[in-house]
Amino acid sequence: MSALPTRKNEAWRYSDLAAVARHWPVAVEPVVVPAGESHADIIRATDEGIRHLAISIGAGGAYRMTILDSGRSYGRIALDVTLHDGADFQLGAILIGHGAQNIELVTTVRHVGPNSTSRQIVRAVAGDTATASYLGQVAVAREGQKTDASQSFKAILLNRGATANAKPELEIFADDVKCAHGAAIGEIDNNALFYMTSRGVPPAQARALLTRAFLSDALEGLDEATTEALDAEITALLETAA
């Protein structure tokens, strides 16, 4: 059995270690996308626990993952992604925390072949005393020439007691790549809120609309039916977090 992680391990810096101990050890779930094939999955995380997915995308393969994470006292999802020649990985993740929840998303995306692409869009909303954390690493091997990778994390804090943590990281050994990352944490735009309320939109509804619009980036590229279904779930979760 592997040793229980400690805060000395950077990947577990923001974790609730008492909760981690209840779910340790964690089984690794393999996900294999064969060369030239395209797959898509949606993860709805509502129960306390830890998931660790090892994702391998074969040459020319494509994989889209959508994550909607909320509704549990402690939850962690770790993605370990390997992209081969010409593979593509797309991640859209929404983290919604309320109460005293601690929600974590940890991603490691390894570009081990040339001409591979990855795009990660993570949006978080935290209310009450909840904590939402994103730790994301993009690692490009020497063989990963022509890699095109990006990761974006943005969070809105609905209360002063809420917390968001971000640690984007790039590790690049190739010399012909296009890689970018960014992180921003703040509150709802008061100017936009004032504009909407001054035109008759009730404050609570205005906050909900602005928050929902903030999360929309993570759903880009999904078909209309899937987007509508997730919209209904997100609206219900935001009512709880507000």
pLDDT in tens, 90-102: 999 999 998 999 9
CA–CA separation, 188 and 154 (whole Å): 12
E strands of the chain, at which residues?
28-33, 38-45, 49-57, 62-69, 74-83, 88-97, 102-111, 117-126, 131-140, 148-157, 163-172, 178-186
CA–CA separation, 103 and 213 (whole Å): 21
What is the mean predicted confidence (pLDDT) over 52-77? 94
Q: Dmax over Cα atoms in the chain, in whole Å?
A: 60
Give 16's contacts (C-beta < 8 A, 6+ positions apart). 74, 102
pLDDT exceeds 90 at position 155: yes
- pLDDT value of residue 241: 62
Residue 236 burial (C-beta neighbours within 10 Å; 0-12, 13-18, 19+): exposed
Q: Domain ranges for the chain, please list them.
A: 10-186
pLDDT exceeds 90 at position 240: no
- pLDDT value of residue 145: 97
CA–CA separation, 59 and 84 (whole Å): 5
- pLDDT value of residue 203: 82
Looking at this protein, which amino acid is placed at residue 192?
A
| pLDDT tens track for 172-208 | 999 999 999 999 999 888 888 888 888 888 887 888 8
Query: CA neighbours within 13 Å on the CB side: how many for 4?
Result: 10
What is the mean predicted confidence (pLDDT) over 129-153? 97
CB 130 within 8 A of CB 100: yes
Average pLDDT over the chain, rounded to an integer: 93
Tell me the whole-structure pTM to 2 decimals. 0.93
| pLDDT tens track for 2-35 | 889 998 898 999 999 999 999 999 999 999 999 9
Q: Flag the least confident range among 121-125, 155-159, 193-197.
A: 193-197
Residue in this structure with the two tokens 């209360």, named with its chain if needed? 159
- pLDDT value of residue 206: 85
pLDDT exceeds 70 at position 242: no
CA–CA separation, 44 and 173 (whole Å): 35
- pLDDT value of residue 27: 94
Report the C-alpha dihedral over residues 11, 13, 17, 23, rounded to 10 degrees. Answer: -20
- pLDDT value of residue 2: 80
- pLDDT value of residue 172: 96
Q: Strand order in 28-33's β-sheet? A: 28-33, 49-57, 74-83, 102-111, 131-140, 163-172
pLDDT exceeds 90 at position 238: no
CB 51 within 8 A of CB 20: no
Length of the chain: 242
